[in-house]
Amino acid sequence: MQHLWQLWAAVALICLILELTAGDFFIICFAIGAVPAAIVAAIGAGTYYQIVVFAVVTLVSLFYVRPFAKRYLHKGEDKRISNADALLGRQGRVVEPIQAGGFGRVQIDGDIWKAVTKSDTDIPEGANVVVVDRASTIITVEKM
């Protein structure tokens, strides 16, 4: 147990290496917690105190260091919308007629989506449409 500080140092080093592959500043918090635990172990404190120091410092860094790092080190990255929200404003082609008050199908980039329209008129097959809204996996379209 005299050289337990080396184990904590190895944990810190491994966490730093793993953080390089992830890049979301989560694993680095464990590395930050392992460094004071290694110092406490080198001083000669018991295993219980080492674990408590590791846990406390890791939790503090999760709540304070990680948000700070994400805010300042990921500044300037574009905020990409993903999934169904990325469909808003996209154009597509009707592959199954959309009945007023009913459903049809629209193809956008090779994917086919269930679609409705707010207008009182039907949208025929082959018409070009634009996505104006969505509710779950059903998109609302307007004729272009």
pLDDT tens digits for range 18-49? 988 877 788 889 999 999 999 999 998 889 99
Residue-wise DSSP of the chain: -TTHHHHHHHHHHHHHHHHHHH-SSSHHHHHHHHHHHHHHHHHT--HHHHHHHHHHHHHHIIIIIHHHHHHHHSTT------GGGGGTT-EEEEEE-B-TTS-EEEEETTEEEEEEESSSS-B-TT-EEEEEEEETTEEEEEE-
Q: pTM of this prediction?
A: 0.51
pLDDT confidence of residue 81: 60
Q: What is the pLDDT of residues 45-85, one digit of tens each?
A: 889 999 999 999 999 999 988 888 777 776 655 555 656 66
pLDDT confidence of residue 50: 93
Every domain range in the chain assigned CATH 2.40.50.140? 83-143
Classify domain 83-143 at the CATH topology level. OB fold (Dihydrolipoamide Acetyltransferase, E2P) (2.40.50)
pLDDT confidence of residue 65: 84
